[in-house]
Structure 1
Amino acid sequence: MTIRRMDHTGFVVGDLPAAIAFFVELGLELEGETTVEGDWADRLIGLDGVKSDIAFLRTPDGHGRVELSAFQSPVTTVAAPRAPVNVPGIPRITFVVDALDDVLARLRPHGAELVGEVARYEDYCRYAYVRGPEGVIVGLVEELS
């Protein structure tokens, strides 16, 4: 076997505290925060002078983690992508939630915007995509059965 498990997914954000607040409101638990820098980080990322504040959040079941990174350096001049969902390479992460309407109401004050609308798939689920921090698309699924 090549893969032992999926460890985490990560997103670069501009405002780390706001991104943490968004994902905590969604129900993730903050594991910790730190700053990474130095030669090893430069080599890993392929940039010089890397200094990044990072936070790890975990899902309530303990099996999934999200890494949020806010780079202090090097500074980028490229904006976050806000392309439609069907563009290759656009990041998307999906969570199963208990009450979709409640989650949407709680996330709106944190900047969440519906991508389309809440859609029902047969008797299986209600599903919505929202744009979260830096335009990341977050799928929210409420199972109906």
Structure 2
Amino acid sequence: MTVRRMDNVGIVFSDLEAAVAFFVELGLEVEGRTQIEGKVADQCTGLEGVRCDIAMLRTPDGLSRLELTSYVTPTVIPGPPKQPHNTVGMHRVMFAVDNLEDVVTRLARHGAEPVGEIARYEDSYLLCYVRGPEGVIVGLAEQLS
């Protein structure tokens, strides 16, 4: 076996505090914060002079983690604003939630806006994509009983 488990998903933001506040509102818990720099950071990223702030968040069940990063150096390169969902590359991270409509309302206070609308998949799920901090697409899924 090559992969034992997924350790985390990482997303780069220019405003780390806004990103942390958004994902905490969603229900993730801050596991820790640190600043990374030096030779190992440069080697892993293929960049020179890396210094970045990192906040590691975890889901309440402790099984999944999200690494939020903001580069101090080198300068953050902004991505294209509001990329459509069919753009090649990583385009969303999805979370299971208990009350999708309530979550969408709460996240709106942090600037989230729906990508489309809340959709019902058969009698199984309510699904919705929202644009979170800096345009990142966040999927929300509520399993129906």
Structure 1 gap ranges (5+): none
User: How far is 1:104 from its partner?
Assistant: 0.6
Residue equivalent to 1:55: 55
State how far apart, in whole Å, the 2-side matches of 1:129 and 1:69 are.
22
Q: Equivalent residue for 1:133?
A: 133
The residue aligned with 1:79 is 78
Render the CA deviation track for 1:44-96: whole Å, top value 9, x for unaligned.
101111000000000001000000000000013x3223211111114310001
Which residue is 2:2 aligned to?
2
Structure 2 distance, partners of 1:80, 1:23, is 20
Partner of 1:36: 36
> Which residue type is aligned with residue 78 of structure 2?
A
Provide the TM-score with structure 2 as the length reference: 0.96
Residue type of the alignment partner of 1:137: I
Matched AA of 2:112: A
Alpha carbon RMSD of aligned pairs, Å? 0.9
Question: What is the percentage of aligned positions where both structures have the same residue?
Answer: 59
Shift of 1:109: 1.0
Aligned residues: 144
Structure 2, unmatched stretches of 5+, are: none
Q: Who is 2:122 aligned against?
A: 122
Structure 1 segments, 4+ long, off by >6 Å, are: none
Deviation, 1:133, is 1.5
The answer to whether the Cα contact below 8 Å between 1:22 and 1:110 also exists between their aligned partners in 2 is: yes
Alpha-carbon contact 1:83-1:90 (below 8 Å) kept: no
